[in-house]
Structure 1
Amino acid sequence: MAEKLGLRAVTTLTRLAVRSLVRGLKPHLLGPEAGRPFEQALSALLADPAVAGSFREARFITLAPDGGWLPAGLEVAPGDEVTVLAAGGFWASKLLNLGFGARIGVWLRAGGAGTILKTPSNTSTVRLDEGGPLHVVAKPPGEWVDDRGTFDPAFPRGGVKGEIGVCLIVWKGGALSGLEALARAGDYEGLVAQALRRTRDPVPAPSGWRYLWRLGDGEIFRDAKAGEGHTICCHTREDVGILQFPVDFPLTETARLRWRWKVETLPCDLPEDIQPTHDYLSIAVEFENGQDLTYMWSSSLAEGTIFRCPLPFWDKVETHWVLRSDPAALGRWLAEDQPLKADYEKAIGAPPQRVVKVWLIAVSIFQRKEGICEYADIELVDGDRVLKCSSRSDAEAAP
């Protein structure tokens, strides 16, 4: 098995390199570029008399890939609305077109040890729950010891190049009126228009669900209606997010996870079992021992394939199970019913006692392609006992 995986990995990497050569060694851009034009254009907009009265302070910061938390030179209070406009990104390999842009790499923290907050995009407005000196850092999602922003020494960053430029704006009143004034003054690479649209039409997490703090908030998942029923839509591109629904459900011999899903577009067309191609859509269950088992839809791996996550940190806690890979089934609603204890024993080993969360996962940061799917009727079942993963008020408590 190890020899086959090694050969497949080499083949996949070769295909990635060939694709880059076909593109003429011109990698897909990570977004607007950071640097002097970015700062000059936004500085001019902020200096407009119609805009200057709308914000309290604004700062520009350049973030390096290997830097720590930097003071922004801004003092914020609980309830302040801060708009983050960011450009640039970091490259791990231009040859393989591997990099991530500012939309997934900018984190904020108020005070010396406030709770960390990732901006959902590179044109986001956030309302702060804590006050104090504002700090900012750029880093890949996931490399944290705790939600206070302590770096995990097990994952030192190296070999990544580039920079992210950030414009931080603390508004006097609400951000909406300030962004409207800023948009009337002009724009730079569409950043202001995007920030205004997101402030006018935010994408809250589906009712009863929340994003995993380790990866930060996002705009990937949203509530939707399908006829008389309720669904959760997933749309990801150059992004990553894990949506979680808390439960407390015994892992008995007869406990099952049931759901329906319709996958329209997969974010990768290569085997997903190595890091450069680990883009996928899945539903997962987290157990009380911290392990999670994720049922994924693969573009290339055979159904029934089981493998440990290839990403650092996640390789200690996450196991993937390829449940679907038939391209003819894309675009169709499919019903699934998985025996959790038997699956855990087969994929991981001796099972724990309880299920503590149900997850929805979307990853598209490596190949930076689009993934689209929809979920419905997610529930944990054991005989006559049913726990629906809908809003907390609708979910049935375990007896």
Structure 2
Amino acid sequence: MKFVCFDCERAYMLQERSNPFLCDCGGLLEVKHDFQKVDVVRLKLEFDKRLTERMSSWASGVWRYKELIYPEMPEAYITSRYEGNTGLYPSETLAQFAGVRKLMLKAQSENPSGSFKDNGMSVAVSHGRSLGYTRFTCTSTGNTSSSLAMYAAWAGCSSYVFLPRHHISMNKVLQTLAYGAQVISFEGTYDDGIRFSELHSEQLGLYVCNSINPFRIEGQKSIVFEIAQQLRWQMPDWIVVPGGALSNATALGKGLHELKELGFIDKLPRVAVVQAEGASPFHQLVAQGDVQLKPALNPYTRATAMNIGNPPSWKKALHYAILHTEGVTVSVTDEEIMLAKGMINRSGIGCEPASAASVAGLRKLAGAGIIDKECTVVCLLTGHILKDTEAIQEVYNGDRTSAAPTNPMLQTSNLTVEEVRPYIADRQ
């Protein structure tokens, strides 16, 4: 393993650049593996065998694929809550809603902290501990912070979270505080916090766990590894993913590239990256054919996890998810997101608003004929339904009429059979 700058392609040994993972030219680093000795047939059997593990690092849906993620990591530093192992659920109802033949939902909301961030955070915190760090940091609109706080607490370490003061979900903030993180709220945007971390983390003795950390990307690759294993290495036509900081799009694209190059899979699925209209600089870049991303200066979307105006991983996402897989981007309105969220909630799975962007984006792409109705699609659900209960309250209070529930709250002064019976009759 080594680090390679994504911009200038300069190579570093791992010990040369460990925090905050920037090249001398300012470019982001990525992990490059030497996969020459990988035996695909043996590893497929080994990955299946590890599914029976319950009390070791092999029980993790991340570390199960250690040979493809971080083969050199000493067992003593692996920090795991048996993350991954999330369900892949087919839904005929949502397939019909989205307009495709077959739709499966990869419910990353089933991770221990309730979001996909755990796949990458397990590897990042493990790497930081292997370097001797005991203090970890991130800038976050919510899910990254709660994931980091959980793993730091599990490892007996400290976590420090820089949190924009506005347009965040209090559920995620409270979860972060409950795990014992020191939360530092500031005026500004997610991008301001990232810049602060890049400039000052080393002098503060903090190990950065944002998506600029290449080990976050390596851990998040396991999501697509797990999809491939669950489908017996027969990939869908499309994988649709919400796009905020774009670490997930980068990781999925990189993971797919490695699986195809090594021979684990025969077909490379196309990737669709979905952004909210109020925070869609990456979609604008792709749609306009630009070579340089123009940050959204005042990003806003009700899907708070996507409220990012200058995604740090945009170059990697463009290369791995769009160019390499012949992928596409799309933007959706908050109303389209909330409508999809309502459908996903009523499917029995549920998700936070940002997760629903994947199904909303699929519906829009299928409606435009970009994704054929005969295709098989996997949509990622990135966060748990209880990550943003205010969004549920909005729907049930009637603030989002386009996503009005079919079962509004029963208003009754006295809980009697006479008052309840008409409501039950209406539902029959």
TM-score band by shorter chain is under 0.3
The answer to which structure has the higher helix fraction is 2
The answer to which structure has the higher strand fraction is 1
TM-score, with structure 2 as normaliser: 0.21
